[in-house]
Amino acid sequence: MWFVSKMAKVQGPLTVDEINDTEIMVPCQAQQESYCEELSRAGKREALPSSSKILPISPSLGSDGLLLGNGCLRLADHIACEARHPIILPRKHQVTKLILERLHKDSNQLGTNQVLALLSARSWLPGAWEKIRDCERALDKESNQLHRL
């Protein structure tokens, strides 16, 4: 938890470096909690178990310690590196839920496909479309309950 102890000492507005560090450290922590075996095997360059949910996109360990996807987009030199090697997000983690909620709000609630497009620019989520729909339904339910009050 180096990051938390470092951040506790900082006062004032966030710097660009602090925001960039957070964008790496938060998904890294989520991956450590959800993909412990996959991270271990990727670090040793061993094959993933056949039961792994992230096996289809041939994950590899990035220089920052994140599991990155290596799907067919890895050959597309004309798109951004983040899209060619997306950060793999754990489907059932709270961090993923928060990211989806933020993307839903950032997209002005335009719908599942818009959120999926925003998510796909930097991340890969197993079963993303269904997870986004679940998130949107939950947010809509919360919104309807607030309007009734």
d(CA 115, CA 26): 20
> pLDDT, tens digit, for every residue of 113-139?
999 999 988 899 988 999 999 888 888
3-class secondary-structure state, position 26: helix
Please give the structure tokens belonging to residue 22. Answer: 């957070």
95: confidence class by pLDDT, cuts 50, 70, 90: very high
Q: How many domains does the chain have?
A: 1
Residue 140: CB atoms within 10 Å: 12
> pLDDT, tens digit, for every residue of 27-85?
999 999 999 999 999 989 899 988 998 998 889 899 899 999 887 777 788 888 888 88
Segments forming the whole domain that contains residue 131: 2-148
